[in-house]
Amino acid sequence: MRLSRRRVRAIFGKELREYRRTGSIIVAMLVIPLVFAINPLVAVFGLSASDASSLSHSHALLYLLGIPALVPTVVAAYAVVGERRQGTLEPVLSTPIRSEEFLLGKGLAAFVPSLAVSYVVYAFVLVLIELFANPGVASALVKPPELLAQVLFTPLLAGWSIWIAMAISTRTSDPRTTQQLALLAGLPSVVVTTLVAYGVIPATLAVALVSAAVLLILNRLGWRVVSALFDRERLVASTK
Amino acid sequence: MPEYLAAERAGPALSVTALTKRFGERTAFEDISFEVGYGEVFGFLGPNGAGKTTTVRTLGTLIAPTSGSARVAGIPLVPENGVEIRRRIAIMPEAPGLYLHLSVTENLECFADLYETPDARDRIERSLHAVNLTRRARDVCGGLSKGLRQRVALARALLSDPEVLFLDEPTTGLDPAATRDVHELIDGLRRRGVTIFLTTHRLEEAERLCHRVAILNTRLRTIGRPDELRDRLFTKSLEVRTLAPLSEPDRVFAGLPAVEGWHNDGLATYLLAVSDPLIAAPAVIRALVAAGADVVSISESRHSLEDVYLELVDHGAEAKRR
């Protein structure tokens, strides 16, 4: 099967234009990262140099991996059910587009802004810590391996959340329910990253590599599984 | 090269044989067969729930048929040909389905890319020109009236220069002025030789725009040219009005050439069943004059497509009840 880049780009570009003009999407994509960022920042600013030694054994900033796990669900959950609701799915599916192309375009349109938001917020948190936290606390918190983990796991977690949200979106008919279910489905990833951040799950290289490999496989499978779940006939003909 | 590509344009634009679609226990349409030629405007009439939209979706590869076969734009209707069929057709659904946050041009750009049309900008301009929307190209679709949205949807359907254009109830919900605009646009496409499959329950629309019509009520009731259907279903008749009732109408009308029977349709009005109005009318006038009757008018009774439709759909409903 040959995928058409032009068709994928058409869906991707259309989605980004729609996001830009839909205030509620922009607000939702900013609120979640702010909630994630403010809490640890307030805690960090209250720490003194004596707390630095206990921090050097924790991976508190990995907590911010919750952002890529949750932010993309805001838009990805709307991907299919939203098109159905506004009556645009049938005209799109009447064109030569394949299900895989449609879903890839939608997925990328959720992926790119989520990635951007996650990295920007992470960078913003790092800058604030370097500027305003106690220097000892700052050097205990900001560690190069964690930085690498953040860079590596942000796209993997975002991708996984997108496929889960889109899978739900192909099977439901109400956008609000879909969004709630997608947020719920994203929570296990947040729980895992939080457990790593607080040292319950050891943050070793082996754990990181295995997790990355599993997420990579899940992302590859996710596209195929969601494409298989994408039943044109049910989506066009059924009201359920 | 696949056989269907070689046979392209040689056969009909649409060829449907014993096509059936069931959703579980419910039958959307059953055992329908028809052909539509290139350049033909084919009307698909039926009441709500008759299966018109499901037929369009099936032929547009959005829904798989339960049984039967079809060729769309010369290509066999099977799942593996879905992309190729959709490349050659366009469907304008009942609801325009536009991206309301995007402008008219942005909507069309998206679809030009989905069809991978060459010279997208030129195609968009031509489509907008065809539906008289060039001046509204930058408008956001959410701010357009229903009629204008319908025009944008029609422009979108024309982008790919389709071999077969499916229009699913294109005037539903439009006011009379917007309806007239859409009719004029379809008429323009007809003159350009575009093959159109038009579903509607507006009979005057079908009568005005279609070369042939089919009447569907889950099953195909009839198919033909509107005048042909009238002739097939109704006996031809002459309506005769005289100033005063005839004293012996039996004696006047009996034995006249091409007159097969008569009955009163009012005090001094008579309906004559005739085999050929052109032979019967002069003979009837001569007989009336000879009988000393004062003739007010004599005219051929015309049955509308609506009569045909009601006759077929009501009979269908009655048969179902029995």
pLDDT of residue B234: 67
On whether any CB of chain B is under 8 Å from the CB of A106, the answer is: no
Q: Check if the interface score ipTM surpasses 0.85.
A: yes
pLDDT of residue A54: 76
pLDDT of residue A52: 76
Average pLDDT over chain B reads 88
Alpha-carbon distance A23 to nearest alpha carbon in chain B (angstroms): 11
- Give me the residue spans of the domains in chain B: 3-230, 235-300
> Into which CATH architecture does domain B3-230 fall?
3-Layer(aba) Sandwich (3.40)
Nearest to A158 by CA among A35, A72, A57: A72
pLDDT of residue B6: 45
- Answer yes or no: is pLDDT of A155 > 80: yes
- Domain over B235-300 is classified CATH 3.30.70: yes
Q: Is the CB of residue B258 less than 8 Å from the CB of residue B244?
A: no
From chain A, pick out residues whose CB is under 8 angstroms from the CB of B105. none
From chain B, pick out residues whose CB is under 8 angstroms from the CB of A21. 101-102
CA distance A133 to A135: 6
On whether any CB of chain B is under 8 Å from the CB of A228, the answer is: no
pTM higher than 0.95? no
Confidence class for position B117, pLDDT limits 50, 70, 90? very high
Nearest to B271 by CA among B302, B305, B247: B302
Q: Which 3-state string (H, E, C) describes chain B?
A: CCHHHHCCCCCCCEEEEEEEEEECCEEEEEEEEEEECCCCEEEEECCCCCCHHHHHHHHCCCCCCCEEEEEECCEECCHHHHHHHHHHEEEECCCCCCCCCCEHHHHHHHHHHHCCCCCHHHHHHHHHHHCCCHHHCCCEHHHCCHHHHHHHHHHHHHCCCCCEEEEECCCCCCCHHHHHHHHHHHHHHHHCCCEEEEEECCHHHHHHHCCEEEEEECEEEEEECHHHHHHHHCCEEEEEEECCCCCCHHHHHCCCCCEEEEEECCCCEEEEEECCHHHHHHHHHHHHHHCCCCEEEEEECCCCHHHHHHHHHHHHHHHHHC
CA distance B70 to B23: 19
Confidence class for position A24, pLDDT limits 50, 70, 90? confident
Run of H or E including A172? none
- Answer yes or no: is pLDDT of A154 > 90: yes
Query: pLDDT per residue over B244-281, tens digit each?
Result: 999 889 999 988 998 988 888 888 999 898 888 889 99
On whether any CB of chain B is under 8 Å from the CB of A100, the answer is: no
- Answer yes or no: is pLDDT of B318 > 60: no
- The winner for highest mean pLDDT among A45-59, A193-207, B9-23 is B9-23
pLDDT of residue B119: 92
CB-based contact A233 B62, cutoff 8 Å: yes
Instruction: Tally the C-alpha atoms within 13 A of residue A143's C-alpha that lie toward its C-beta.
Output: 17
